[in-house]
Structure formats: C-alpha cells, structure tokens
Structure 1
Amino acid sequence: MFGIAQGPTKQTATDAINVFSGRLQSATLLEDRRNAILGLRSFARQFPASVASGALRGLIGSLGKDVDDVDTVKVVLETLIMLFNPDESSPEASEEISLWLADEFTQRQDNITILLDLLETSDFYSRLYSLQLLGEILSARSERTEECIFTAPLGISRLVAILDDRREVIRNEGLTLLTYLTPHSTELQKLVAFENAFDRIFTIIKLEGALSRGDRVVEDCLILLANLLRMNVSNQSFFRETGCTPKLGQLLSDALNTDEQEEAVAEWAQVQRNRNIYALLAVLRLFLVRGAVGTPANQASFWQHGVLKSVLQLAFDRSTEMRIKSEALITCGDIIRGNPNLQEAFAQLQVSSVVDAPVSNGDANPQQDHSAKVSSVVDAPVSNGDANPQQDHSAKVYVIDGLLDLTLSIPSLQAFDARLAACECIKAYIYNHPAIRQHFFRRAIEGHSSGADETANVLTTLLRPTSRDTPTDPYRYWFAAVIVYHLICEDGDAKAIAMGIAEGDTSSGEEEITCIQTITANLINGLQKGDDERVLVGYLMLLCGWLFEDPDAVNDFLGEGSNVQSLCTNFLQKTRHCLAPRYTSFWYPNLEGTNILIAYTSSGGTHYSMILKFYHKNLDQQA
C-alpha cells in the first residue's frame, strides 16, 4: 500500500522573517527589496526582536540605497516605527528593544544624517515618518541623538525649516520634535534660535488663532519658546534685539480685547485659552530671574513695549481665572523688582477696582462688607476702591490701592492665591527702595490717623483689636504683618518712623500707647481668646523682625512690664502653641536662658540691663 501523503512543513514566523531578511540583503532589484520589506513589515509589531535582529541594518541600508523611491522609503520608515512600537500582546515586546534600535541608529552618524536628509524631500510620508522616527530615537537615547543632530550638516536648519511646512501634521510633528530636543542643551537652543525660530513660532501662533482661539498647538509653541529662553542669556538678548518683545505684549493685548468682544465660549475652548495664557506668563517670567545678568534689560524692555501694562490689565480683568490672576500678579512683581525706575513708575498705573462695595470706615458689619467684595473677585473679576462698581464696573484706582484691597479685603479662600500674589507684588514694589518704603509707610500712617481706608490699611488692620470677622479671614492680619515686616525689616529709618506711631491723646489725659505695645497687646489678647494661629504668627513675625538688633524697640517692648510676663504665662499655659521656644529664644537661644527670663519677669523685674546681666551670667556658666 502507498504511504499516506503528508503536506509541506508549516513555516514558522521566525523562518519567514529569516527568509525576508535574507532577500533584503541579497536582492539586487528594487522591487525585490520592497517586497521583502513588505514581508518584514507584516511581522514588525508582533515579532519586533526577531525582525530587528535579522533585518535592522538591511532596513537602514535601504534608506540610503533607495532614497529616490518614495514608496520603498515609506515602507521602510513604517517598519522601523513599528519596531519601536510593538503590540502590547507581542511575546517579544520589551523596553530594551527601543534602546537597542536607538543604539544602532546613533552609533553611526550617517544613520541620523540619512533621516535628516529625508526632510529635504517634499514627499509627505518621507517627511512625517522621518520626524516620527527621529522622535522615537531621541526618546530612547536623548543625549547621543542630540549630539548626532548637532553635528549633522544642516541638521538643525532642516528641522527648524519644518515649521514652515503648510501641512499641519508635518509642521506639528516638527514642533513636537524640537520641543523634546531643546530642553537641556544650551548650544542646541542657540542653533535653533538663530535659524529664525522665534519668528516662525510667532507665525504659527498667529495662524492657529493666537491665545484666545488657539488650540494645543499654541501651547506647544509656547513650550518650545520656553525651552529656547530658559536660563539662556544669549537667546534672551537675541529675542530682544530681533524685536520679538512687542509680540509678547501684542499677544496678551489681543487676548484681552478678544475676550471683551466675544460672548460665552465652549468650556473646552476656555480651558485651552487659560492654558495658553498661563504658558505665556511662564515664558515672561523666564526673562525675569532674580540676579540674572539680563534681567534689568528685560524689565526695561517689558515696560517699554507695554508688556507690564497688559499683564496688569489681565490680573485685574473681571473675567480672568483665579490661577491666571495669581500668575499675572507674580509676573508684575518680577518685572519691577529691584528696578528703581520701574518701581516708581509702577505706582502711577491704574487698574480696575476689586471691591463691589465702597470701602467702609468700620461702621458697617464686616461680614456684609466682605460678602459684597467676594462676588467681585471669585464669581467674576477683581477691582478696588472708592467707587461703586455696581454703578461703574470700569472704576479705576491706583495699582497700589488695588493691590492692597485685593490683599486685605477679600476673605474668600478661593481668592487666597491671588491675595498672596498681590502681597508678593507689593513686596516687589518696595523691594530695596528705601524712599518708596518710607513713602508707603507714611501714607499708611496718614490713612490710619485720619480713619480713612480702614479696610485696606495695613497699620489699621494690625493696630485694631481682632474682631468677630477674624475667624473668617485670619489671613488679613497675616498679610498685613508680612507687608509691615518688609517695610521695616533691616531699615533703621523705617523703624524710626514706626516708633513714632502712638495711640491716645495725651492732651486729654489719655495714656499714649506705642505701636509696639499695641501690637503686643493684640498678640496677648489673641492668645487669651484663642485666636487663629495664623493671626498670632503674623504678630510674632512682625515683632521679631522689629526688635531684632534694635535696642530702642526692645526697650519700648519691655517698657510695659506686663508684656513679657503675659507672653510667658500664655506660652506656658497653652503648650499647644509651638511659638514660645521660637519667640523667647530670640533673646535667649538656650533653654536655661529662657527659664531665667521667665523666672525673672515673674518676679516683677523690668530693667533690660538686669535681664542681660542674668543672660550673660548664664552663658559664662555654660562656657
């Protein structure tokens, strides 16, 4: 009998891959190589390791041999991209494959140069897939890929030129690749910038609808811009010299004008608009790093071209999101900080008022006043002042008044970040400028003495005893203490001015109470009533800064014999407060010295010299 016929042996995937790899290496005809590559492509996602081990060099070599045949190049690039992105279900899927593939490309400069050469072609797929493949290689081996692109002839020029491609898919892919290429290398950043990248970026932003109407592409453009400018003095100077600074101001101005003209937009569009604006503010702050060489020139340029005014308008615009308000106010502070001319000019600017109700003199119920003000900042906008925005929403006040109102008069927790940013802006305004600090302080004293502007006066806030509105807004007292602290800290003249503040009419027989004694009394009263710790910390912070290396202030503090004793008594009784060691160690940085102070004040001693005598005696004993 004849034997039962058996069919041919079933070919495995490995066998097929080996066959196709062999054909790719040995084929002399273009069509044969293309068919072999098509066969390899069908296995690339499921068996990336097998395809790469047998055919990777052949695939790379085909890019050089068959560069003029767009169909073959397309198939090769598709296969290589698949090798970097295998199926999750693949038995050969591994992160090591990407590293292996990237190593093969970056070990020879020519391999990267081939991909960059393909960017010169006009073919859609050759350009797109080359960019995607470069992105995969860069992701796996960043440093080596950066070196290869940097040294490749016209490598950076070809990449930046992609930003001019009218085909959005290719342009956006090039934008993404440049974004991942430029975060770390200063030299790469310079090369990209000198290829007219700044103008190209602004062109894309304009084409995509700018900040208000632009989608994620606008945000990506701003991220690339940030990469090119971050800690790069050369690029920042080039940016200024090529006239790009006015374009930043124009972007913000257009966003504000567009928002005023348009009605409600879709939620997703508003979210993207806010992201775009926030990204632009982040770019602005890159020019304003404290102590950087180019910061003064950048500050002057932002003022000259109206960037500061646009940012300030954004911060006080009624439709601006709270997060954007905060970043805008921080940016304003960065623009003026440490620049005397700008600090002086800044105070002359006007902004929209942040409070919906007129500022009271303390007769109205604070709860009612505060609720009226919240709607302005939280539900809609920010304002300040003496006019009633219900009658005139465009009421204007000077910017310092607006900042004080925002810092001190808005009790909502939702507005905390904006209040903190406004406080930082005030600190920037008075930073390292004694004349402004003293002028600011004198204005506060005049306002306090006259009883005007009570709700937005830092002195009135601190000298007035804490009231029933304290639990709802403890930060009001803390912000006021922070501002006064920065007014007098390390400024002997400002401290002298503060020492002249007193309450009480001596001509009428009233006892005169100094500012230090009033603040200390409020602190002791707050401790006894159990006021919020943030209020108490504010008082303590201010007193510590004021008394530091100021004998006159210390004598004033100790002039009221009950102050130290009351503080020590409260601290000992209320151990939940972690303030006592910090405050008492201001004089006595060791525990035994602190105990001497407590014991001595408890016995009724009031002479500062005697306290020092006990303290030094204690130090001698320890030595």
Structure 2
Amino acid sequence: MDFFKSGLKTVLGAPEAGQQPSAGETVERLVNRVENSTLLEDRRDACRALKAMSRKYRVEVGAQGMGTLRQVLELDRADNETINYALDTLNNIMSPAQFEEEEENPNIPMNIGEQFTEMFIKDHNNIQLVLDLLDEYDFRVRLSAVQLLTSLLTNRSKDIQEIILVKPMGVSKMMDLLGDTREVIRNETLLLLIKLTKGNANIQKIVAFENAFDRLFEIVSSEGYSDGGIIVEDCLLLMLNLLKNNSSNIHFFKEGNYIQKMLPMFQTPDDAEDLGWSPQKVSNVHCMLQIVRTLVSPSNAVQIISSCQKIMKYAGLLDSLCNILMASGVPADILTETINTVGEVVRGEVNNQDFLGNVMAPSNPPRPAIVVLLMSMVNEKQPFSLRCAVLYCFQCYLYRNEMSQASLVQTLLPSSSDVSSLTSGQLLCGGLFSSDVLSNWFSAVALMHALTENAAQKEQLLRVLLATNIGSSPVSLLHQCTLLLQQSTKVQAKVALLMLLSQWMSYCPSAVSAFLKVPGGVGYLVNQTCSNEHDDNEYLLQGLSAFLLAICIHFNDDSVENYSKDSLKQLLLKRIGMETFSGKLSEVTKHESYNKAAKHPQLRVKAPGEILIDYEFCKLFKSLEGVLVESLTVKRENGVESLPESRASPSSGALEQYKSLIRQQDARLQELTQQLDGLLRQNTQLQSALNDSLASNSHLKDENTLLKAQVSAATPLNHQAPAPPSQDDAKAKEYEAKVQHLANEVAKLTNELSLAQEAKKTATEELEKLKKDQEDLLVLLVDQDAKLNEYKMRLISLGQTVDEPPSEEDLT
C-alpha cells in the first residue's frame, strides 16, 4: 500500500501540507494528466493509477474518465501497455459484478456497470475500437479486449448484438480467436461467443458458417470428449446456442455430417462403473444429450426431425444411447435425460421405435427394455423425474405407431404365450388400480396413448377382462375403470380416468355403449357436471365430466335402450341446461395445467402435485370441443329451449315465424343502412370543416407570433412605465381572440366527429350482426323446407292426404 501511495505521489505530485485530496479530486487530476501530458510515460502511469482506483472508486473513474479512456484506445494504439491499462479500467467500470472493495460503500447502485455500459455504447464507434483491438497479437491487449466485450454483452446483450451485427468482420474477428494457441484467450473467447450467440438467430448463422462446428469438435476431441474438463462443456453450450430454435443451423449441422461426430461423446468404456462419473463428465454428457434433443425436438419441422432420427440410427447413436439406458452405475439425472432423449429419437419414426422395442435389458431372465422402464414408472420408490421421463419415452414409442400400440393391447388379451413373464400391459393394469395415485395417472395416460388415432385398438381393448373376486364373473377393463372413477377420492386419479375414457369412447360407439351399461356411470357424470365446488381442480373435474358426457351423446349409436342420444340430450337439458354445460366445458381450457400441457408433448412439472393434464388429451379436447357444443347447442323458438333435431314439429306455422322475423330484420336492415349513409355524409362534412379550421388556426398562430416579435423588437429596453397599447398591440390581441375562438371551434368539431364515428361504428356492428342472423335464419328456413317436403312425402307414401302449406307469396 505504501508503494502504491508513493506511486500516486510521483504521478500526481505531493498534496499541500495538512490536506488530503478526495477520491474525486484524485481521479480528476489523473484524467487531466492522461489528457494533457505530452510524454507517453506520464499518460501510461496515469492510466495505471486509474486502473488501480477503478475497483473501489468506479463511479468517480467512470464519470470523469470514460471519454478520456476511449480517447486512449484511439490515439495510443502503438503502446500496448497503455492500451491494456485503459481496457482493464473500462472493464472494471462496466463490470456486471460488485467488487470486494466496493462493499464498504452502500450507496453504489447495484447496476452501475450496466449504466456505464449504456453510456459507453451510445457511440457505436466505441465498440469498433474494441473490436479492432482483437487484431493485436499482444496477449494482455487481446485478452482484455475479449473480457471487456464479454462484460458489455452481459450488461446489454441485445444492444451489443445489434451493433456487432452491422460491424464489418465483427463476428469473424472473434471466431479467429478460437484458433489462438494460447488457451486462456481461446477459453475466454468461448465464453464471449456463448453470450454473443444467445437468442440471436442472425449471429448464430454467421458463427455457424464461420466453421464453428468444425472448430468446436476439434477442441472437444483434443480435450478428451466427455472425460474432458469445463472447456468441453463450454464448447457444447456454444453448439447448443447455435442449434436451438434455428432450423437453418440444424440443417447445416445435419448435412455437414456433424451428427456422426457426436458418437464418441456417448462411448462408455467397460470399466465406467468402476471409474465412476465425475461431476464434470455428468455436465458434459448432459449438454450433449441436450444437443441431440435439440436436433429431434417435436417443435422442429417434421422433415428435419425424421432425417435426423434416421441418421442417428444408422450412425449408431441410438444404439449408444440405449447402452447408457441399460448400463449400471449411470447417475440418476443422466439416466433421466437419456430416457427423454431416446424417446425423442424414436418418436414417430417406425424403424427407431422397432429398434427400441427389441432392446433387451441385461437382467436375469432378460426382459425387454420397455418392460424394465415401465417397472420403474409404476414403482413409487423411484425418483419422480425418472418416472415422468419413462412415461414420455413410452408415449414416444407408441406415437403414430399402430404396431406398437397393438402389441401393448395384445399383452392384455388372453394368449397362449408364457404367462409367467411380466408384460407391459400387466404392469399398466397393476399401476392403474394401485394405491399410488401417481401410478394411477401414469398408467392411465400410457394406456390412453395406445388408443390415440387407433380405432381398432379401442375395439380390441373392450375385449380385455379382469378377474375381480374369487367366484365372481370377470368384468371388462372399461367397466372396472368406470367403477374406479366413481369410487376414487383423489383428483389426479379422477382426471386420469376421465382422460382415458374420453380418448377410448371418442369415435367408438361400442365403447360408449359399454360405458352406458355400467350402473351409475351416467349419473356420476351428470352429478359431477352439476357440482358447485369452487376450486380450480374441481372446476377442471366438472369440465372433464361434461366433456365425457357430451361424447356419450355425440358418439351414441342408440344401442342402449334407456340411454339413447335423444334421451341423454333431454337429461342434459333438464338437469344441467345448455348455458351451464357450455360454461363447465370452457373451464377445461382455462385451467393452468391445460395451458402448460398443450405447449409440449413432454410432461413439464416440478412436483407430483402439479400433474393433471396430458398433451395428447389437449389435442383431443381441442379437436372435439367445437363439434360437441355444436351438436348439443339448443335453439330458441318463442323463448323456449328446444333441441336442434326432431323435437321441433315441422309445421307451416314455424315456417311463417321464420319468414316474419326475416321481414322484420329486412326493415331494420334498411333503417340501419340509411342511418349509416347519413353518418358517413356527416362524417365527411365534419372532417372537411375540421381541416379548414385547423388550417385557419395555424395561419393565425403564425401571424400572431410574427406580430409579437415585431412588437417586442419595437419596444425600448429602458421603459420604466408600461406604454399605452399601440395599434400593433391591439391587432395582436385581436388575432389572439380569433385564435382562441377557432381553437374552441376545432375542439367542438373534433368532439362531434368523434361522436359521429362512434355512432357509425355501432351502426356498422349492428348491421353486421343482423346480416349474420339473417343468413342463419335463411339456413334454418332451407332446412325447414327440406324437412316439410320429407314429411310430406312420407305421409303421401302412407296414403295420407296432405294439405299444401301456404306458399311464400301468400305469406308475403
């Protein structure tokens, strides 16, 4: 410290006796020395002193010295040491972190670095100065320039990205530093590029086409792949930035054979279990799995996903992933992410799904990997995240694969195969009726995916019989699920069963019939829909019950005598009412879990209690909601609710009512059209008057300003008493009065115009509504005419005499 003080005395000169300069005064003298000294050594010493003070007194140094330090970067380029001091000082000033030296001063704002960054980048040439310094080979200058750019990006990433994007060779200069043989600079450049590429697709594309992937794989290889240090992780994080949500770079990665270059990352040596997994290896493999998932993410275009999946299989990457899946000693978080990754690599790709279906676990006796995974899913002792991952992987295995769906259902049907071996169907049935609510949910949803877009398996699953009590006849799986729904007291189990039954019974009349035959099934749905419980999850249950009840009506084939389509509609109308029914149904899409689930096929929850809705069910609900409401919506005739089908008797009286209503609406339509025409003319007149008034107002204001200027110029500066009003003064006041009057007129006209436009908008909306109503009535009229003709022909065919209904001319 004494040496530092003596150094400051040398630079600044000794203070007067008895006086100690403040930090601000010291900084001011140093800045003056940098600006005014003719000797390079003096400027260099002053820069070194400013750097020393910038950690503790960054506010003073930044406020007084930023412009001077920027000048040093421009004018003292030839002296690397001075440039290095200036860069380090700027980096300290704009550091996003707080220094230990600053902790004693509580008045320093937490975001002071960001504030100085905002000031520094107002002049974009400052960024260019720093970019140009990347060309300097001097170790300290190049390293300090990289670190300064990293700090700037940390503080104001979007602004810096946009500036660098338009700077010539800006990105190229940074990319060149990846080839620097000095590892410190290379490593700092990786951190810089990670921040630079985050969330900016244009920069990501430039970096990718600057051979980033080749350079990064070279570094990963030289560092030892997954067994390497944190530099491997940084390389993978940069790759992840370049690929995430960037279809252009994914295509480039795929076409450049880079998928094949990932394979060594997943090669697990035979002694891996003995050697263990270091924390860094876990991080490295986790990043690599994230890259694989980015390439085959369900949010990508289907063509990209499919081609990447094919390459991963033929390159042996899927095989390596399955080896990790079945290996022992794999850390839980890596195993969980590997399961998710395998799921997305096989999702919707039949060959990959078949490959996974044929993988055998090294157990005794050997079992299919799918069965081993499902055993983990229904085991409540397994980690929650692992169980969720298995469900997602199993869903991916079934996704759009009729063979794998059929295979699952087949394991539930009687067969001549070895009954001693545990099957996937048996595991799911066990989980479905388990005391563990999560097993209930996972199993129900897994079975639901076996029925998605597969009508044949819905019919097959109706054949599944379950043994209940000894001596009792077996009951169907659907029957048992319906009874379980009525008996369950847990919200998650009820939601899961309602989703399963909705998927099963939609587009499957025989499943609807089977449900309607279960005692109490319909009554439960009606009571649940009518429930008045006021809780978000209860609202969801009410909505799901309404949805399943609507499915029972819409897909009903009238094979159950007491629960025909029409009788169920009448029950719904009397017990629930259409308005209440529609409101309950809409509660499903309002629920938070529905909106979360609808965004991505993978279940993304943090705690077991958050599990409620599945992604595929969201798709089913979205596709059917409108159809069901439309088929059940009642019409109104004379204020009385009626059903849309045969309940309204076809009579000429109804026909006349429709036509009478149309005539009334025609008259109202003409009235509104005339009103609209009048408002349009008034609007045009008011707009013209307003424009004239505004022009006159502007002209008078200009004249008034000119007169005031003339009066002011003519008035003597040494008047001691107010002069009598001159002619110019009177004229000015006259113009002011006119301006004021016109301003009032303008305000009045503006108000009238606003009212006219509002009236025009209202009239237009009512006109459009009436037009739509008239179109609907005309459609109904056509339907009514068709029904009248149909009934007339039936009566004639039965030998009845039919009176002709009044013609349209008679009614008009």
Which residue number corresponds to residue 216 of structure 1?
A: 230
Cα offset, 1:104, TM superposition? 4.5
Amino acid at match of 2:223: E
Q: Given residue 195 of structure 1, which amino acid in structure 2 is its aligned partner? A: E
* 8 Å Cα contact 1:38/1:75 also seen in 2: yes
Change (3 A) 1:62 1:92: farther
How far apart, CA to CA, are the structure 2 residues paired with 1:326 and 1:464?
Answer: 20
Alignment gaps of 5+ in structure 1: 1-5, 354-386, 389-394, 594-603
Report whether the alignment pairs 1:148 with 2:188. no
Give, in angstroms, the shift of residue 490 of structure 1. 3.8
2:499 aligns with one of 537, 541, 545: 541
Number of the residue aligned with 1:437: 405
**How far does residue 30 in structure 1 lie from its aligned partner after superposition?**
1.6
Q: CA deviation at 1:181?
A: 0.9
- 1:474-493 mapped onto 2 (5 Å cutoff): 474-493=437-456
Asked if residue 277 in structure 1 is aligned to residue 285 in structure 2, the reply is yes
List aligned pairs for 1:61-72, cutoff 5 A.
Answer: 61-72=71-82
Range that drifts further, 6-15 or 215-224: 6-15
Alignment-derived partner of residue 412 in structure 1 = 381
Residue correspondence of structure 1 range 319-330 to structure 2 within 5 A: 319-330=329-340
Query: CA offset at residue 567 of structure 1?
Result: 8.2
| Partner of residue 551 from structure 1, selected from 481, 493, 509 | 509
- Whether the 8 Å contact between 2:373 and 2:390 is mirrored in structure 1 is yes
Aligned mate of 1:336, from 333, 346, 353: 346
Aligned residues: 544
What is the deviation of 1:247?
1.9
Counterpart code for 2:515: F
Find 2:91's aligned residue among 81, 85, 89. Answer: 81
Match in the other structure for 1:314: 324
* In 2, Cα distance between equivalents of 1:564 and 1:139: 60
Greater alpha carbon shift after TM alignment, 580-589 vs 158-167:
580-589
Give the letter for the 1:585 counterpart: A
- The counterpart of 1:124, out of the listed 139, 144, 150, is 139
Label 1:32 to 1:108 Cα distance change in 2 as closer, same or farther (>3 A).
Answer: same
Corresponding letter in the other structure for 1:433: N
Residue in 2 that maps onto 1:428: 396
Please name the residue that 2:269 is paired with: 257
Cα deviations across residues 506-545 of structure 1 (Å, max 9, x unaligned)?
xxx9857433224334555x54xx6x66555444432232
Q: Map of 1:158-557 to 2, 5 A cutoff?
A: 158-211=173-226, 213-253=227-267, 256-257=268-269, 260-261=271-272, 263-265=274-276, 270-293=278-301, 294-353=304-363, 387-388=364-365, 395=366, 397-408=367-378, 410-414=379-383, 416-446=384-414, 452=419, 455-458=422-425, 461-462=428-429, 466=433, 470-471=434-435, 473-502=436-465, 513-524=475-486, 526-527=487-488, 534-557=492-515
Instruction: Give identity over the alignment, percent.
Output: 27
- C-alpha contact 1:558 1:608 (8 A) present in aligned 2: no
Q: Secondary structure at the match of 1:52?
A: helix
Computed over aligned residues only, the root mean square deviation of the Cα atoms, in angstroms, reads 3.6
Match of 1:615 among 568, 571, 576: 571
Residues 158-213 of structure 1: per-residue CA shift (max 9 Å, x gap): 212222233332222111111111111111111111222112222222333322x3
Listed one character per residue, the Cα deviations across residues 104-160 of structure 1 (whole Å, up to 9, x for unaligned) are: 442334322222222223322111111111112222222222223223332212212
Query: Alpha carbons of 1:460 and 1:563: their partners in 2 closer, same or farther (altered >3 Å)?
Result: farther
- Once the two structures are superposed, what CA deviation does each residue of 1:475-526 show, in whole Å capped at 9, x if it has no partner? 344333222211123422111212233468xxxx9857433224334555x5
- 1:290 alignment partner AA: P
Distance 1:463 1:71 in 2: 74
Match of 1:358 in 2: none
Give ranges in structure 2 of 5+ residues lacking alignment.
Answer: 1-15, 554-559, 579-633, 635-639, 643-812
**CA deviation map 1:7-53 (0-9, x unaligned):** 47544433332222222222233222212223333432333233233
Shift of 1:90: 4.6
Change (3 A) 1:185 1:535: closer
Question: For 1:427, what is the secondary structure of its paired residue?
Answer: helix
- Tell me the CA shift for residue 228 of structure 1: 0.7
- Quote the offset at 1:230 in angstroms: 0.6
CA displacement, residues 80-115 of structure 1 (integer Å, 9 cap, x when unaligned): 222234632357733564345324442334322222
Aligned residues of 2:253 and 2:259 also touching (Cα < 8 A): yes
Matched, 1:34 2:64: no
Evaluate the alpha carbon distance shift between residue 44 and residue 587 of structure 1 in structure 2; reply closer, same or farther with a 3 A threshold: closer
| Cα separation, 1, equivalents of 2:321 and 2:570 | 56
Aligned-partner Cα distance in 2 for 1:492–1:300: 28
| Change in CA separation of 1:21 and 1:296 when aligned onto 2, cut-off 3 Å | same
**How far did 1:427 drift?**
1.3
Structure 2 vs 1, CA of residues 454 and 407 (structure 1 numbering), >3 Å: closer, same or farther? farther
- Residue 366 of structure 1 is matched in structure 2 by none
Which whole-Å deviations, capped at 9, do the CAs of 1:192-243 have from their partners, x for residues lacking one?
A: 11222112222222333322x3333322222111111111111112212222
SS at match of 1:257: coil
Paired with 2:27 and 2:501, the residues of 1 have a C-alpha distance of 80
Query: Structure 2: which amino acid aligns with 1:206?
Result: S
Shift of 1:287: 1.0
CA 1:539–1:51 in structure 2 vs 1: closer, same or farther (change >3 Å)? closer
The 1:417–1:543 alpha-carbon spacing in structure 2 relative to 1, beyond 3 Å, is same
Aligned partners of 1:182 and 1:227 also within 8 Å: yes
* Distance in 2 of aligned mates of 1:96 and 1:512: 71
CA-CA distance at 1:607 after TM superposition: 4.1
Query: Separation in 2 of the partners of 1:460 and 1:108?
Result: 67
- 1:45–1:536: structure 2 CA closer, same or farther, 3 Å change rule? closer
Q: Are the equivalent residues in 2 in contact too, given 1:160–1:197 (CA < 8 A)?
A: yes
Paired position in structure 2 for 1:111 = 126
Give yes or no for the alignment of 1:44 onto 2:54: yes
8 A Cα contact 2:76 2:82, kept in partner: yes
The one-letter code of the counterpart of 1:553 is: A
Residues 569/413 of structure 1: CA separation in 2 closer, same or farther (3 Å cut): farther
The 3 A distance-change label for structure 1 pair 539 and 36 is: closer
2:440 and 2:530 mapped to 1: Cα distance?
A: 24
Larger Rg: 2
Alpha-carbon distance in 2 for matches of 1:334, 1:344: 14
Distance 1:453 1:186, change over 3 A: farther
Q: Does the Cα contact within 8 Å between 1:48 and 1:92 map onto a contact in 2?
A: no
Distance 1:54 1:607 in 2: 86
SS in 1 for 2:181: coil
> For residues 143 and 518 of structure 1, do their structure 2 counterparts lie closer, same or farther at Cα, with a shift above 3 Å needed?
closer
TM (norm. structure 1) is 0.77
Distance in 1 between the 2:519 and 2:204 partners? 65
Query: What is the match of residue 25 of structure 1?
Result: 35
Distance 1:291 1:446 in 2: 39
Q: Deviations over 1:261-306 (max 9, x none)?
A: 46345xxx62222222212111111112225222222222222212
The 1-side partners of 2:418 and 2:563 are apart by 36
Partners of 2:420 and 2:377 in 1: how far apart? 13
Tell me: CA distance 1:34–1:545, structure 2 relative to 1, closer, same or farther (3 Å).
Answer: same
Residue type at the aligned position of 2:289: L
